[in-house]
Structure 1
């Protein structure tokens, strides 16, 4: 596929949805001015994302970019060039075949809102022990909600808190996931000394209906609240 001269296009919202599209052309083109990919491939039959994908350096809003792509099964191990993205809200929402997240996923250093990013990814079995470059993350609400195949994520939880000093919201982050092998004691302790999270019960509510090892000892009240 030849895209032609697309260097001046700024908005590609919902361009390829709904469709029977199964792949992204390797010759993606020069999208130097592209700032929004909201819903770009949503509701398509996309199977994979190119391992070497460039040209997204100016994108700021990637909400629902791959939302409800039921056969998308993986994310490239090394996906660079997303340094300007501030929102990945619902980026992979209901990608029910997505089974893994890259161990080293760089390039999300500007991301502030990752709410619902992997909500409903029922085939997802693990979260990397370390998410690099999420230093500006502020909201992770429902980020992994309804990921029913998740198991033990203790290490990932501890890394999240120690490296995301600006994190403010994680209400129901794992709601409905099966975390029967996860101990959240250290995570809760870290949240209660966190500069923002210590002012809210959201860090406890994020484990609602997850069967974490020591959930009953958390004495959690619902609904959650947040103090400005």
Structure 2
């Protein structure tokens, strides 16, 4: 059974989400404070954190930063901040999804189910890409550059995995969004671009002249790696 941690200061919201998710078979833990959520995260293995940004003690952004330093757990951010800049900032902090309040508990539950379907599919694959410099282990979900492990968020890794597993194949942004976030994703078109920009900073020697994640003008992206 997958464990989910909800860090949300509105107890009624937490209770509703908990009821929906437990009905789907997940084990759900709730806390109203960021620091309590971090302590709980240290004691229990979680597969997903649903994180509100407006918390009474520390900000959700701070919680996200802490979790990203110690874990690759999937993080769904919940917030009333809805501007494009806010969404980009959330993704840059390491969020995998960004849901704007008010939202439907059914929609969030559908996104959670889609996430775990993708996780289970990825678990069934055992493959390694290695060109001598860049090594991608699909089973262990690790990326190394010349033997040094590179940290990627879950969505960043999924992007690298999809592109590198089909080297040379061009994927549109819509195809990548559907493969990573699910067909019902209601985010914004620049989601993939933000993730690609962050990946390039981590694995490319020159992010302005990328070797691995190649832009195909007016279409999308492909994996080079020559």
The TM-score range, normalised by the shorter chain, is: 0.3 to 0.5
TM-score, normalised to structure 2's length? Answer: 0.32
Greater per-residue strand proportion: 2
